Amino acid sequence: MGDLSCYSAVERLCDGRALEIRALRPDDRERMLAAIDHTSAQSLYRRFFAAKRHFTDKEIAFFLNVDFREQVALVATADEDGEQAIVGGARYVATRPGQAEVAFTVIDEYQRRGIGAALVRHLVDIARAAGLTELTAEVLPDNAPMLKLFERAGLPLSSRREADAVHLVLRLT
């Protein structure tokens, strides 16, 4: 797939608006923080399993400094008043050979527009090209939209419900 740090593709939202799916860059700090500010407490809780609105410099550095080998991070950007704003993001982090854990977030205003599904498609393509065979995720049991996103990915899916999360495994082969 070439240099993933330069990854970029254009998708169309249901309403016809252009959506760029691209690699997260170190210079995205302000756009990423703005996206967090535009995300509800519930959506942030569903992503981080905690009421998380503020991040330490170390946490921000972890999110922004991606090696695109063991960790891949994509953002979805849309035009807002002439500026490209981050409206969603997805990442995977390798956990063992052939497997990585995935996480997704779409800011509330842009949810239910197909952005999560687009991010899944792109991340799955990248993961397959990298030789991964499984993507795993921990999802809160009440996060029905995320559970449906994985169910609709069109890949073999297994799930195991635990007390505080649903453990999902998407098979890529």
Task: Let me know if residue 10 belongs to a domain.
Answer: yes
Q: Which domain holds residue 81?
A: 4-132
**The predicted structure's pLDDT at residue 164:** 86
For the chain, what is the domain count? 1
Task: Let me know if residue 71 belongs to a domain.
Answer: yes
44-75 tens-digit pLDDT: 555 555 555 566 777 777 777 889 999 999 99
The span from the CA of 139 to the CA of 19, in Å, is 25
Task: Let me know if residue 110 belongs to a domain.
Answer: yes
75-84 tens-digit pLDDT: 999 988 888 8
Task: Let me know if residue 173 belongs to a domain.
Answer: no
Task: Let me know if residue 32 belongs to a domain.
Answer: yes
Task: Let me know if residue 153 belongs to a domain.
Answer: no
Burial class (CB in 10 A: 0-12, 13-18, 19+), 140: middle
Domain with residue 117: its CATH number is 3.40.630.30
Task: Let me know if residue 122 belongs to a domain.
Answer: yes
Whether the pLDDT of residue 113 is over 60: the answer is yes
Going from the C-alpha of 14 to that of each of 18, 115, 118, 146, 151, the distances in angstroms are: 10, 10, 11, 19, 20
Task: Let me know if residue 54 belongs to a domain.
Answer: yes
